[in-house]
């Protein structure tokens, strides 16, 4: 598959995003970003760097120590190697103004095969970066997840809901470590006076997601991109909130600029569809058949979420002036178009 910049649709979308948002509060600042090559942070970095004259320094913390295979050469972006599943030496990191911790294993196959690493990246990684935030008096934003609510029994879910999880289920490696990361962050806020913010993302998708992602939405879209039937392996009665990547990034910007330290914010669009309706939507937009076949494979058993309903309430975030701009139909169509351009 071609690199993402081969998509003229993506390049134009990034420019449009940058033109529609005010990054002034980040001018002349240094940002430390973990998970820089992931779905949300790569989109954000692309948008920041799309303005040639915008003065910002971005330090990408990566396990490989390189982002040259993802981002074009730019003097404002450099990478530092660091394994966040282990304690990180703060001596590696220069003084920073903002830290956005988005590194995590985030797909079912990863949870199934690497549950220990999933937990350690979230917990050890959060501690290492909070220590740097305390050292530099930097603002720290933790990219968390709707998964912390577990099998919720309220709808919509407000940030005050405490969650319902089985700690003895290995699938909880992600959920519980994200919960622990949030508590660690607010502990640093109280004891070390670090300005922390928590962004609880709903299920996210968009052109920057990995083609190898094993989440249901990702698989639906990849099937459609390649002309294969969209296959639903369950009844599809699960109901989730979704967020297009551009809306997720704009939400994180709003939280950093206008949010209250020590608070968590749900990020999600307003539309509520069942997983079956999502699959049918992707198939319709992609012009491919929709198939439903009840399959219980090892990934289904060990990797996929146990939650049946995860509809978040984004009222608190909307009070900062944010709102989702991309409908599910628009976001799916954009994503399919991007990937098809890269597959040619």
**Tens of pLDDT, residues 39-65:** 999 999 999 999 999 999 999 998 877
Q: What is the DSSP letter of 1?
A: -
Picking from 127, 97, 124, 87, the residue whose alpha carbon sits closest to that of residue 33 is 97
Per-residue burial over 115-126, b if 16 or more Cβ lie within 10 Å, else e, is bebbbbbbbbbb
What is the pLDDT at residue 299? 53
- Distance of alpha carbon 289 from alpha carbon 306, whole angstroms: 27
pLDDT exceeds 90 at position 76? yes
- For residue 302, the model assigns a pLDDT of 54
Q: What is the pLDDT of residue 301?
A: 55
* pLDDT tens sequence across 321-343: 999 999 999 999 999 999 999 98
pLDDT one-digit tens code per residue, 279-292: 999 999 999 999 99
Backbone conformation region of residue 2, classed left if phi is above 0, alpha if psi is from -120 to 50, else beta: beta
Q: Which residue is it, tokens 């939405």?
A: 217
**pLDDT at position 63, please?**
81
Phi, psi dihedral angles at 51 (to 5 degrees): -100, 100
Residues 6+ apart with CB under 8 A from 174: 104, 105, 106, 111, 118, 119, 122, 145, 147
Question: What is the pLDDT at residue 109?
Answer: 87
Token digits of residue 305: 């979420």
How would you class 333 by CB atoms within 10 Å of its CB: exposed for 0-12, middle for 13-18, buried for 19 or more?
middle
Of the pLDDT bands very low, low, confident and very high (cuts 50, 70, 90), residue 310 is confident
Chain segment 159-171, per-residue pLDDT in tens: 999 988 999 999 9
Tell me what the mean pLDDT of segment 248-272 comes to.
97
- Does residue 129 surpass a pLDDT of 90? yes
When pLDDT is cut at 50, 70 and 90, the band that residue 304 belongs to is: low
How sure is the predictor about 300, in pLDDT bands with cuts at 50, 70 and 90?
low
Burial class for 291, CB neighbours closer than 10 Å (0-12, 13-18, 19+): middle
Residues 48-61 as b/e (b if ≥16 CB within 10 A, e otherwise) read bbeeeebebbbbbb
Give, for 324, the enclosing helix (H) or strand (E).
none
pLDDT of residue 333: 97
What mean pLDDT, rounded, does the chain reach? 93
By the 10 Å C-beta count (0-12 exposed, 13-18 middle, 19+ buried), 183 is classed as exposed
What CATH class is the domain 4-205+241-270+309-328?
alpha beta
Question: Sorting pLDDT into bands at 50, 70 and 90, what band is 344?
Answer: confident
Instruction: Give the pLDDT confidence of 199-254 residue by residue, as tens digits.
Output: 999 999 999 999 889 889 999 999 999 999 999 988 999 999 999 999 999 999 99
Q: What is the pLDDT of residue 2?
A: 85
Q: Closest Cα to residue 265, out of 243, 294, 284?
A: 243
Higher pLDDT, residue 27 or 272? 27
**Residue 120: is the preceding peptide bond cis (ω within 30°)?**
no
> 């050890």: which residue's tokens?
124
């Amino acid at each position: 598959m071609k690199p993402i910049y081969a998509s003229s649709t993506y390049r134009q979308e990034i420019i449009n995003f940058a033109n529609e948002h005010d990054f002034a509060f980040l001018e002349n600042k240094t940002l430390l970003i973990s998970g820089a090559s992931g779905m949300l942070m790569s989109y954000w970095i692309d948008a920041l760097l799309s303005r040639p004259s915008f003065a910002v320094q971005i330090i990408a913390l990566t396990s490989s120590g390189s982002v040259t295979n993802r981002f074009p050469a730019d003097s404002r972006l450099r990478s530092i190697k660091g394994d966040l599943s282990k304690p990180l030496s703060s001596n590696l990191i220069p003084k920073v103004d903002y830290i956005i911790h988005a590194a995590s294993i985030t797909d079912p196959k990863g949870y199934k095969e690497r549950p220990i690493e999933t937990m350690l990246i979230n917990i050890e990684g959060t501690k290492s970066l909070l220590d740097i935030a305390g050292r530099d008096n930097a603002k720290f934003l933790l990219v968390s997840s709707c998964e912390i609510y577990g099998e919720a029994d309220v709808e919509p879910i407000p940030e005050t809901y405490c969650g319902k999880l089985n700690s003895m289920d290995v699938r909880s490696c992600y959920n519980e470590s994200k919960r622990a990361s949030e508590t660690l962050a607010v502990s640093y806020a109280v004891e070390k006076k670090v300005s922390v913010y928590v962004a609880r993302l709903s299920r996210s998708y968009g052109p920057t997601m990995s083609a190898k992602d094993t989440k249901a939405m990702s698989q639906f879209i990849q099937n459609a991109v390649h002309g294969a039937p969209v296959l639903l392996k369950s009844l599809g009665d699960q109901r989730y909130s979704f967020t297009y990547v551009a809306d997720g990034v704009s939400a994180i910007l709003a939280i950093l600029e206008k949010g209250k330290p020590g608070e968590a914010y749900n990020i999600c669009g307003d539309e509520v569809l069942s997983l079956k309706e999502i699959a049918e939507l992707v198939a319709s937009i992609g012009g491919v058949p929709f198939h439903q076949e009840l399959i219980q494979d090892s990934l289904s058993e060990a990797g996929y979420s146990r939650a049946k309903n995860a509809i978040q309430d984004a009222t608190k975030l909307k009070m900062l002036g944010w709102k989702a701009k991309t409908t599910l139909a628009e976001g799916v169509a954009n994503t399919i178009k991007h990937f098809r351009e890269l597959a040619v």
